[in-house]
Amino acid sequence: MSRMMLRQMKKNQRGTIVAVKQGGELGRRIRDMGLVPGTEITIRGRAPLYDPVALRVMGSVLTLRNNEADFIEVEVQPET
Amino acid sequence: MSAELKIALAGNPNSGKTTLFNALTGSRQHVGNYPGVTVEKKEGVYRLEDKKINIVDLPGTYSLTAYSEEEVVARDFLIFEKPQIIVNIIDAANLQRNLYLTTQFFELGIPVIIALNMIDAARDRGIEIKADRLAEFLGVPVVPIIARTGFGTQKLMEEAARQAARKKEWHPKPISYGEDLDSTLLDLEEKISAGNFLTMYPSRWAAIKYLENDQQIISRGRAENGALSAELEKKVAAVSQHLLETMETYPEAMVADHRYGYIKGILQKGVISHKYDQDRLYTSDRIDKVLTNRFLGPLFMAVVLFGLYTFTFTYSELPVSWLETLFGQISLVVEQVLPDGPLKSLIISGIIDGVGGVLGFVPLIMFMFFGIAILEDSGYLARVAFMLDRIFRVFGLNGSSVMAYILSGGIAGGCAVPGVMATRTLRSPKERMATLLTAPFMNCGAKLPVLALFIGAFFSENKAHYMFFFTILSWLVALVLAKLLRVTVLRGESTPFVLELPPYRFPTLKGLLIHTWEKTWQYIKKAGTVILGISIIIWAMMTYPGLSESEKGKFALQRQEVEAAYPAMVVAGGNMALSEAEATERSRLLDSIDRAEANATLRYSVAGRVGIALERVSFLAGFDWRTNIALIGGVAAKEVILSTLGTAYSLGGDDQEKNGSLAEILASDPGWNPVKALSVLLFISYYAPCFVTVVCITREAGSWKWGAFSMVFNTLFAFVLAVLVYQIGSLLF
């Protein structure tokens, strides 16, 4: 198990959010969409210009910009 | 017994809320605005036996923070209008995330009934939800439905009516937010109750909002009782400090975590079962693998956008020509029935030409909105925003700006009015301002006919190509100017872009039709009111003051001279006094006198004088006074440009040309050439937005200064561009 910021994650990598290190509006918006500690995410892919990133979260797909993904710390599951 | 009930329909975006609303109310809908803001307020009626159920469709939101106008509107509606019950629609395939909003209704304590939507789609994904267990643990009724087929909706409304009739008090559900917060919350709640503070809100709810640092509630609190508010804020600051030190978190984050915790706790009690792995690739993901692919995605997007053009323009041609013929016929009838005079002139030139010119394009607009509705309802538009975000950021905007641009006419047509309103979904005021100020540069539905006509008249070989070119150009202009604004008057940080990509869905025909009709009706209403009035005003400006009697006398004298030189020959049996050549010459001379008089009249009119006065500047861009008149009319509403130009030419042209369409008149007029047409087109595309848009900009931006700014800035920019094109073009060709 290793921790990294969401931005560093690769396509199809899975993990569990451990922290959202951001308050204020951005933090609130991230949490409103279900990105809270304990949530499992999978990287679905990136937009044609590598940004934003699309994630699978609880059955739906969300997109975040890379610089927003920088606030989300994830415990990455080892590749199986 | 007949009873009236008021229920609110609430849910996340993409939960199928609009589909349910349409299924319930059908055509019995009314679209308005919430007072003071431009968030759309949709109301409708559902009849359940003898009961009349009024349904208010709240804006789709993920939360009830003070964070966006939609959320504020939604919660203010709930708190101040107190609907008897909320029908909370939830996407069954997305239960956990959708219930987040539900927990916030629970905090408020308002009675809720859950409409568990799209259970069929969830089942396809291997998700099985036990509605009765969910209802038991949540403590509210849960009715499984499929909004698009209507399954379960009757039962839902029966249950909602039954619950609503009970006249329940609001009972906020005490959700735990962890030890630290719970004790603070109790403390705050006591102080709020004891101080009779913010009594319009449930006290626990107000306390939670203080914890969440909700700016709307806090500022209301400060206004009501500054000292008490300061005391509450101090307590919140203390617990915030504590949380930050011990757990590196914020109270609002803790609150959110515990709401999710509450949901998870319930779902784990055997409410939901997944047959497949959650990461399994669904059909939607497979489609996305292609449609948002690095190479195929943008390619496909270009094809889709171009396809929409072809669809809009090709298929609407026939109905457009029908309407043109219809209005032509009406004119003809009026022409024959009414005696010559101001009334006839008013009806033909003012009313029929004005309104007909606008309504003639209704089919075009319907086709366009139908196409956009398909893109929107299918979920593709969100992918467009996703793929374009990186580009938009370069220009100081975000991917959500694409919606405002597309609505304003980024895809064939649209209208800057809803476009400007759509900027509400943008969070940062700076990006929002930049978008709403540049959205009017797009080719709205009203500019489209102007483009279509000029392109048809001057560049007819490659109509679709030119239309495409003008759209791409509008995007470039809008983006570059947005960037310009963002580095000058609107400098500042960029805002978050957390967006949901809904699964691809087949749009329902009913949804598409309602959507199309709504938008088209908005256009017709505008045409029927504002434009009719303006068309009449412009007609009056072009007719009055009429020529003086002595001037008229001069023309009458000239006619008499011609008639004397070529005496008429009306004897039946062919006692021709004139040869054929002489007869032709006679009518040619009379025509030219008519034309001269009409021209003199128009030049002498108010509009003519303004247009001529402006020629001193506008000649730089190649505009003559007739064009100027049309452009002035266009500030009132872009639809007026064509009708004014039509009026200008039908009044000033001769009889044969009157019968031809405006396009033919322009194409054959020696005063026009492709360079001038291009210059006029560019000017029309980018100069001052119409009055309605200016009013919207003013309202959205909160100051007349921005409305005025957009008029002056856009006109200057457009004029410089038109002058450059005209001057350089004239040198080259």
Q: Are residues B259 and B352 in the same domain?
A: no
Return the structure tokens found at B625.
Answer: 């006074």
Whether residue B637 is contained in a domain is answered as no
Of B130, B165, B200, which one is at a domain's C-terminal end? Answer: B165
Of B165, B195, B213, which one is at a domain's C-terminal end? Answer: B165
Return the structure tokens found at B179.
Answer: 């030890």
Q: Which domain holds residue B366?
A: 296-450+457-487
Whether residue B733 is contained in a domain is answered as no
Query: Which run of H or of E encompasses B88?
Result: strand B85-91
Q: In chain A, which residues have their Cβ closer than 8 Å to the Cβ of B125?
A: 59
Q: Is B83 helix (H, G, I), strand (E, B) or coil?
A: coil
Q: Are residues B153 and B192 in the same domain?
A: no
**Cis peptide upstream of residue B174 (ω within 30 degrees of 0):** no
Q: Locate tokens 């029309």: which residue?
A: B684
Q: In chain A, which residues have their Cβ closer than 8 Å to the Cβ of B288?
A: 44-45, 54, 61
Q: For chain B, what is the radius of gyration of the CA atoms?
A: 31
Mean predicted confidence (pLDDT) in B628-643: 81
* CA–CA gap between residue B109 and residue B96 (Å, rounded): 20
Categorize the per-residue pLDDT at B658 as very low, low, confident or very high, splitting at 50, 70 and 90: very low
B394 Cα to chain A: minimum distance (Å): 12
Of B437, B471, B487, which one is at a domain's C-terminal end? Answer: B487
Q: Are residues B154 and B183 in the same domain?
A: no
Q: Identify which of B141, B144, B164, B165 has the alpha carbon closest to the alpha carbon of residue B154.
A: B144
CATH number of the domain encompassing residue B251 = 1.10.287.1770
Number of folded domains in chain A? 1
**Which residue type does B431 have?**
E
- The DSSP bridge pattern shows strands B29-33 and B40-48 to be antiparallel
Whether residue B519 is contained in a domain is answered as no
Q: In chain B, which residues have their Cβ closer than 8 Å to the Cβ of A37?
A: 257
How many Cβ atoms sit within 10 Å of the Cβ of residue B20? Answer: 25
- Look at residue B117 in the predicted model and tell me its pLDDT: 96
Quote the ipTM score. Answer: 0.94
Whether the CA torsion A62, A67, A71, A75 is positive or negative: it is: positive
Q: Do A60 and B94 touch (CB under 8 A)?
A: yes
Q: Are residues B446 and B399 in the same domain?
A: yes
Nearest CA in chain B to A60: B94
Q: Are residues B159 and B212 in the same domain?
A: no
Q: Which domain holds residue A59?
A: 2-76
Half-sphere exposure of B283 (CA within 13 A, CB side): 9
Q: Are residues B463 and B335 in the same domain?
A: yes
Q: Does residue B124 belong to the interface with chain A, where contact is any CB pair within 8 Å?
A: no
Q: In chain A, which residues have their Cβ closer than 8 Å to the Cβ of B261?
A: 38
Whether residue B569 is contained in a domain is answered as no
DSSP B235-289: HHHHHHHHHHHHHS--HHHHHHHHHHHHHHHHHTTTTEEESS-TTPPPHHHHHHH
Q: Does residue B300 belong to the interface with chain A, where contact is any CB pair within 8 Å?
A: no
User: pLDDT (tens digit, 9 = 90+) per residue, A4-54?
Assistant: 999 999 998 999 999 988 877 788 888 998 999 999 999 999 998 888 999
Q: Does residue B65 belong to the interface with chain A, where contact is any CB pair within 8 Å?
A: yes
Closest in B278, B297, B386 to A63, CB measured: B386
Whether residue B195 is contained in a domain is answered as yes
Number of folded domains in chain B? 3
Q: Are residues B191 and B45 in the same domain?
A: no
Whether residue B306 is contained in a domain is answered as yes
* CA–CA gap between residue B53 and residue B159 (Å, rounded): 12
Of the residues A32, A64, A68, the best mutation for testing chain B's interface (the one with the most B CB atoms within 10 Å of its CB) is A32
What are the CA-CA distances from residue B382 to residues A6, A11, A68, B491, B502 (Å)? 22, 20, 19, 27, 8
User: pLDDT (tens digit, 9 = 90+) per residue, B23-40?
Assistant: 999 877 777 767 666 577
Q: In chain B, which residues have their Cβ closer than 8 Å to the Cβ of A23?
A: 250, 252-253
Of the residues A14, A49, A70, the best mutation for testing chain B's interface (the one with the most B CB atoms within 10 Å of its CB) is A49
User: pLDDT (tens digit, 9 = 90+) per residue, B469-525?
Assistant: 888 899 999 999 999 999 999 887 776 778 889 889 888 888 889 888 887 787 677
Q: Are residues B42 and B152 in the same domain?
A: yes
Torsion of CA B202, B111, B45, B699, to 10 degrees: 30
CATH number of the domain encompassing residue A35 = 2.30.30.90
- Look at residue B335 in the predicted model and tell me its pLDDT: 84
Q: Are residues B161 and B185 in the same domain?
A: no
DSSP B695-709: HHHHHHHTSHHHHHH
Beta bridge partners of A53: A46, A64
Whether residue B120 is contained in a domain is answered as yes
* CA–CA gap between residue B441 and residue B477 (Å, rounded): 7
**Which residue type does B222 have?**
R
Q: Identify which of B51, B84, B10 has the alpha carbon closest to the alpha carbon of residue B154.
A: B51
Q: Are residues B313 and B264 in the same domain?
A: no
Whether residue B404 is contained in a domain is answered as yes
B500 Cα to chain A: minimum distance (Å): 4
* pLDDT tops 50 at residue B655: no
DSSP B488-504: TTT--------EEEPPP
User: What is the distance in angstroms between the CA of the first residue and the CA of the last residue of chain B?
Assistant: 79
Return the structure tokens found at B195.
Answer: 């101080």
Q: Does residue B386 belong to the interface with chain A, where contact is any CB pair within 8 Å?
A: yes
Q: Are residues B141 and B196 in the same domain?
A: no
- Phi and psi (nearest 5°) for B505? -135, 150
Angle B558-B559-B560 (CA atoms, 0-180°, nearest 5)?
A: 90
Burial of B330 (0-12, 13-18, 19+ CB in 10 A): middle
Closest in B63, B285, B498 to A68, CB measured: B498
B78 Cα to chain A: minimum distance (Å): 19
**Which residue type does B47 have?**
R
Mean predicted confidence (pLDDT) in B655-669: 63
User: pLDDT (tens digit, 9 = 90+) per residue, B234-281?
Assistant: 999 999 999 999 988 889 999 999 999 999 999 999 899 888 776 677
Mean predicted confidence (pLDDT) in B81-102: 94
Q: Identify which of B17, B12, B269 has the alpha carbon closest to the alpha carbon of residue B130.
A: B269
Mean predicted confidence (pLDDT) in B315-333: 84
**Secondary structure in 3-state letters for B518-576:** HHHHHHHHHHHHHHHHHHHHHHHHHHCCCCCHHHHHHHHHHHHHHHHHCCCCCCCCCCC
Q: Are residues B10 and B156 in the same domain?
A: yes
